[in-house]
Homo-oligomer: A and B are copies of this chain.
């Protein structure tokens, strides 16, 4: 019989071990439980995992030992043996951005339904940080990765994917590798939003978007151009501004296109952050300027006028991506696919204002 573990019973031991910072505060293991219950290790394992083939009496003895020692199975050890960690990673741009809240939540719900935990990290729009995070998650052997990419070269993930890490990209496509991608119809949404402004009489329409290297920004710009071209409107360079979406830059961009000899009479805002700043700029103006924004924002309906937006379904993006991930993990062989979700134009007033020139 193995020696009885002294740890849980000798306060002095615990104290010593806590201060030396060893081994999870010296928790009891299955071996300790087995010793206390007077059974073999495998029997404890059976009870802990609810496997059949244990007499009620044995089971009770083991349960008592578990309670008495405060045993909790060490899933790290389990994972090492079983191969699957029942956890997935989610890499997004910024946990604090309201667009990613519903998306994360949706991924979490799907993970939960599959018994998996979610490890979450922000890339802060930094490709190096994205890579560092993704590889750290792979080192932890997450079963899969949902990535909202910051970078545009994901070849660094190839060995991981080959090694069996399921991977789905969301919101933006993967760069230089074949992988599943779930996107909103950024091009179509922007084109519809701009066409909506054109239909209300606008011809000088501004576009303010995120950095052009970001796929969604480029696609929305393309949608803007397409709508203008469809209407036979020549676009002036001064009507388009792409760059970081901090309030200062957006404010300057908006003010620039709203002044001068031929100011725009309408603005298409490339994402939620841009929209918010543009609203602030327009609120300070004496004349009315029309606005359509990409992404819905809270309270948009209560402003004067209400803000017309091209809404995307962030929760659906997350849900679709996570479901695809677990389908990959089911073992069915899947050819990488590109799934595009529709956007929805929500008219609330700001996009229906006529030109005021």
Which among B18, B98, B119, B121 is the interface contact of A98 at CB below 8 angstroms? B98
A324 at interface, CB cutoff 8 A: no
Q: Among the listed stretches A170-178, A206-214, A296-304, which one makes contact with chain B, having 4 or more residues with CB under 8 Å of it? A: A296-304
Shortest distance between the CB of A244 and any CB in chain B (Å):
18
Task: Determine the distance from Cα of A298 to Cα of B297 in the docked complex, in whole angstroms.
Answer: 9
Interface string of A150-190 (1 = CB under 8 A from B): 00000000011011110000000000000000000000000
Task: Determine the distance from Cα of A80 to Cα of B138 in the docked complex, in whole angstroms.
Answer: 17
Task: Determine the distance from Cα of A29 to Cα of B137 in the docked complex, in whole angstroms.
Answer: 17
Interface string of A62-86 (1 = CB under 8 A from B): 0000000010111111011001010
Task: Determine the distance from Cα of A135 to Cα of B76 in the docked complex, in whole angstroms.
Answer: 14
Name the interface size band of chain A: 35 or more
Which among B163, B276, B299 is the interface contact of A24 at CB below 8 angstroms? B163
Closest to A17 in B: B164
Please name all residues of chain B whose beta carbon is closer than 8 Å to the beta carbon of A300 when the two chains form the complex: 299
B163 touches A136 (CB 8 A): no
A19 at interface, CB cutoff 8 A: yes
B163 touches A27 (CB 8 A): yes
A163 touches B117 (CB 8 A): no
Q: Among the listed stretches A38-46, A99-107, A230-238, which one makes contact with chain B, having 4 or more residues with CB under 8 Å of it? A: A99-107
A25 at interface, CB cutoff 8 A: yes
Shortest distance between the CB of A268 and any CB in chain B (Å):
19
A252 at interface, CB cutoff 8 A: no
Q: Among the listed stretches A89-97, A215-223, A339-347, which one makes contact with chain B, having 4 or more residues with CB under 8 Å of it? A: A89-97
Query: Which residues from chain A sit less than 8 Å from chain B, CB to CB?
Result: 14, 18-19, 21-27, 70, 72-77, 79-80, 83, 85, 87, 94-98, 100-102, 104-105, 108, 117-122, 135-141, 159-160, 162-165, 276, 279-280, 283, 297-300, 302-304, 315, 331
A141 touches B75 (CB 8 A): yes
Shortest distance between the CB of A128 and any CB in chain B (Å):
13
Q: Contacts A96-B104, A164-B25 known; A76 to B298 CB distance under 8 Å?
A: no
B280 touches A302 (CB 8 A): yes
Count of chain copies: 2
Shortest distance between the CB of A355 and any CB in chain B (Å):
23
Shortest distance between the CB of A281 and any CB in chain B (Å):
11
Which among B18, B105, B163 is the interface contact of A96 at CB below 8 angstroms? B105
Shortest distance between the CB of A25 and any CB in chain B (Å):
2
Q: Contacts A76-B80, A279-B302, A302-B303 known; A102 to B96 CB distance under 8 Å?
A: yes
Please name all residues of chain B whose beta carbon is closer than 8 Å to the beta carbon of A276 when the two chains form the complex: 298-299
Q: Contacts A117-B137, A279-B302, A299-B298 known; A95 to B85 CB distance under 8 Å?
A: no
Chain B CB within 10 Å, residue with most, of A19, A159, A160, A165:
A159
Shortest distance between the CB of A348 and any CB in chain B (Å):
13
Please name all residues of chain B whose beta carbon is closer than 8 Å to the beta carbon of A26 when the two chains form the complex: 163-164
Closest to A304 in B: B304
